[in-house]
Amino acid sequence: MNSMYLRLVFHFIILCLLVVVQLAVLPNLPWGLQYLNLLLVILIFSLLFLDFYWSFGWWLGSAWLLSLFSFDSFSGLIIIATISFLIIYWLLISFFTNRSLYSLMFLTGLALLINDLGLYGFNYLTASYHNTPMIAMGSGWWLLELKALGVNLILTVIVFYAFNFFSQRFRPILT
């Protein structure tokens, strides 16, 4: 039982370090690297390395830690993380079972869109409930979303090949 607590503390420390890097380091990077969502990419890879309960704990723990330091609603991040996890996990188990690069890239892109559109929708509903000015989604938002998608897909490729170099558990192409 003691090793279970050590494992839990170890995972929590790793998750806290990832959240600190996500909130403190990545937004200050130059050349479009501020759009990196390292935490989301690592969470996608956690689905492959951890079982259902541990990876769900990582998703909820990251949403909880991010909501502590976010200006969004506390429950919004947790609800969106749960919905995102269930959709991505279902797709991973049902359709993308081969652990290829293209399936991980698709899952990362879809998780990023679910996360960003979900947060936008949740903030929109919160603003409409409180009769505050609505948030307008301009054409620049889609351009920023495409930049974030491109940067995160490049990060997915780098992390994929780094893990593949050490473990040989993945396939670079669909087979």
Mean pLDDT over 66-75 rounds to 76
pLDDT-above-90 percentage for the chain: 2
- Name the domain count of the chain: 1
Q: What is the pLDDT of residue 69?
A: 80
174 falls within a domain:
no
172 falls within a domain:
no
Say if pTM beats, i.e. exceeds, 0.85: no
- Structural domain including 51 reads 2-167
Banded pLDDT at 1 (limits 50, 70, 90): low
Banded pLDDT at 68 (limits 50, 70, 90): confident
CA 112 to chain centre: 6
Are residues 84 and 111 in contact, defined by beta-carbon separation less than 8 angstroms? yes
- Quote the CA–CA distance of 120 and 123 in Å, as a whole number: 5
pLDDT one-digit tens code per residue, 35-57: 888 888 888 888 888 888 888 88
Give strand pairing partners of 100. Answer: 171
Give strand pairing partners of 171. Answer: 100
Q: What is the pLDDT of residue 135?
A: 61
Q: What is the pLDDT of residue 46?
A: 83
Is the model's pLDDT at 175 over the cut of 50? no
Are residues 75 and 60 in contact, defined by beta-carbon separation less than 8 angstroms? no
Closest CA to 75 of 16, 4, 12, 129: 129
pLDDT one-digit tens code per residue, 118-159: 888 877 777 777 666 666 666 677 788 888 888 888 888 888
175 falls within a domain:
no
Mean pLDDT over 7-13 rounds to 85
- Quote the CA–CA distance of 34 and 9 in Å, as a whole number: 29
78 falls within a domain:
yes
